[in-house]
Amino acid sequence: MNLLHLMGVNTGVTTQIKERRTRLYRVAYSWCHDRTLADDLAQEALTRGLSHLHQLRDPAQLDSWLFKILHNCWRDCLRCQKDFQDIEEMEDYLHAHDDTPEDINSRSQVVDRVRAAIALLPMGQRQVLTLVDLEEFSYNQVADILAIPVGTVMSRLCRGRQALKQTLIELAPVAKSNAVLRMVK
């Protein structure tokens, strides 16, 4: 229970925004797999959403509207990043972890594998898949959010799942066998 709520302050909107922030963050993270960037994207989407709230025609469509904004933010971000991919910085990021060894150890390997597999998907498939699976949007909503036809949503989703299946289910035993020690002389 929220203290402010008990005091009679109208926290409905605030609570809704907080909830949506977490959801936006989750999807943004599944797209970019970078916590700082995901946080920025969620924040930017909320900021744009709040400042253009008057443009929202149907309040029931708030969710898909916000995710549409998130998609736009992500596209803007990709556009900006295109010319400035600094390989050295990427290396730094890849090798610098905030997590302690205990964290890494205790974290389920499954989660890592899932994230790695999703990160391998082309961006279009990744977006469709995460919007459908994480946010449970209908195909029509996803088509609206990403501004693509429903048929494209279905085909991307299908191809994305096939690829994931390859990585996560069918290749799993093979991946295991790779770990066998080999003699090195």
Partner 1 sequence: MKSEISNEQLSAFVDDELDTPEKDGLFSLLGSDPKLAQQVCELRTLKELVRHGYTQLPGMNSKSHWAKKFHAPQSLVAGVVLVLGLSLGWVGHDWSQPQPVTQVVHDISHPLDAGALRPVSLSGVTEDMHKIVLHVDSADPAKFKTLLDDVDFLTQHQAALGQPVQVEVVASSYGLNLLRTDVTPYAARVRALVDQHPNVVFVACNQTMQRLNKEGANVKLLPHTRVAPTATEEVVNRLQSGWTYIKV
Binding stretches for partner 1 (CB under 8 A): 1-4, 6, 18, 21-22, 25-26, 29-30, 35, 39, 98-99, 110-111, 114-115, 118, 129-130, 132-134, 138-139, 154-155, 157-158, 161-162, 164-165, 168-169
User: Minimum Å distance from CB 136 to partner 1?
Assistant: 8
∠ CA(124), CA(127), CA(129), 5° rounding?
105
User: Minimum Å distance from CB 163 to partner 1?
Assistant: 10
Nearer to partner 1 among residue 4 and residue 56 (C-beta): 4
Query: Which position has the token pair 């609206």?
Result: 144
Nearer to partner 1 among residue 56 and residue 138 (C-beta): 138
Torsion sign (Cα): 21, 26, 31, 35: positive
Residue 24 in contact with residue 42, Cβ under 8 Å?
yes
Structure tokens at 58: 């149907």
User: Minimum Å distance from CB 74 to partner 1?
Assistant: 16
Nearer to partner 1 among residue 22 and residue 55 (C-beta): 22
Residue 145 in contact with residue 71, Cβ under 8 Å?
yes
- Could you give the CA distance from residue 121 to residue 119 in angstroms, rounded to a whole number? 6
Nearer to partner 1 among residue 91 and residue 99 (C-beta): 99
Nearer to partner 1 among residue 52 and residue 165 (C-beta): 165
User: Minimum Å distance from CB 83 to partner 1?
Assistant: 27
- Could you give the CA distance from residue 37 to residue 57 in angstroms, rounded to a whole number? 29
User: Minimum Å distance from CB 158 to partner 1?
Assistant: 5
